[in-house]
Amino acid sequence: MRIVLIAHDSRKELMVQFCTAYKGILSRHELIATGVTGKVVHDACGLEVHCLYPGRSGGAEQLAAMISYGEVDMVLFFRDPVNARPGEPNDMLLLRACDRKTIPVATNIATAEMLIHGLERGDLAWLELRSPRR
């Protein structure tokens, strides 16, 4: 399963803590992230992460395109709804893309934990049936 990791600057440490806690589950899947988030997660957790451009430099647009082409199965987007800075990944662009393609998306740690536990239990197997990888 292809899982996208995105975090606003103020949530990157939370993403690292999440990835550390669920490293065993995440390591069995393909991880994709915006540039800085991917580097931070890789350096802190040792997980293999395919890094795109930083969010400010087109990474959010790359991810939206990947979602639109059916190349993403889940999005974990730890966003800061109060203190998001200009230039950080565009929330609405990504959320709309996920809604159009029926991609499970978590915008906070509570929902991310629900998705990751569902993934571990096999509750999200329907995602792989929808778009099998070749």
Closest CA to 6 of 45, 29, 44, 40: 40
Nearest alpha-carbon partner for 127 in 104, 111, 93: 104
Give the residue with greater pLDDT, 131 vs 50.
50
pLDDT, position 59: 87
At 104-121, the pLDDT tens digits run 999 999 999 999 999 999
For residue 101, the model assigns a pLDDT of 93
Question: What's the pLDDT at 7?
Answer: 93
Other beta carbons within 10 Å of 129: 7
Assign 6 to helix, strand or coil: strand
The answer, yes or no, to whether residue 131 has pLDDT greater than 80, is no
Give the torsion through C-alpha atoms of 24, 107, 54, 8, to 10 deg: -110
Q: What is the CA 32 to chain-centroid distance, rounded? A: 7
Q: In the predicted model, what is the mean pLDDT of residues 38-43?
A: 97
Residue 65 confidence (pLDDT) above 80: yes
Domains with residue ranges and CATH for the chain: 2-130 (3.40.50.1380)
Model confidence pTM above 0.85:
yes
Residue ranges of the alpha helices (H) in 2-123? Answer: 12-21, 23-26, 35-45, 59-68, 91-101, 109-121
